[in-house]
Amino acid sequence: MTIHVPLGLESANGESGTSERWNLNIDPEGRLTFNANSLSGGKTWMVIDDESGNVGIGTTDPQATLDVNGDIKIKDWSLSVPDYVFDQGYELKSLSELRTYIETHKHLPDIPSAQKVSETGVHLGEFCMALLKKIEELSLYVLQQDEIIQTQNARLARLEQSSRG
């Protein structure tokens, strides 16, 4: 026979009449739960699912390793950044190919559509790297356009000089 005994702590403020209660418990599904509630209402849940190892904050049914239903503040995180876009053999789409892709798909290549993001979410690290790739590609497009402009300016200057005679 197993007896589940919740572990709790209660704090009361005599002046305001408020009370806070924190409970650490194992629920009927075998999940470790932590909740805080006050007599004024409201609960904040943190759940650790023993079977899956998932942790839920703000949810009682975590569906991912860390499932947070609410805002997250992160002080620092890091990613590995490949700079393969600047490699000599990188195949950059022509601007006309890019235009056709955007007109057809209504989003940038290698960036998920708004519909896909709303349906399945987005892996933040992969998304940041995809955005960085687009920034690097845009830098290459700007450099290509600058080269074309410089060539045209030089040609225009020669034409103007030859027309003056």
The 10s digit of each residue's pLDDT in 71-117 is 888 888 888 787 899 999 999 999 999 999 999 999 999 999 999 99
| pLDDT value at residue 1 | 46
Residue 30 above 80 pLDDT? no
**pLDDT confidence band for 21 (50 / 70 / 90):** low
- Sequence letter at residue 54: N
Please give the residue that has the higher pLDDT: either 37 or 56: 56
Question: Is the pTM higher than 0.75?
Answer: no
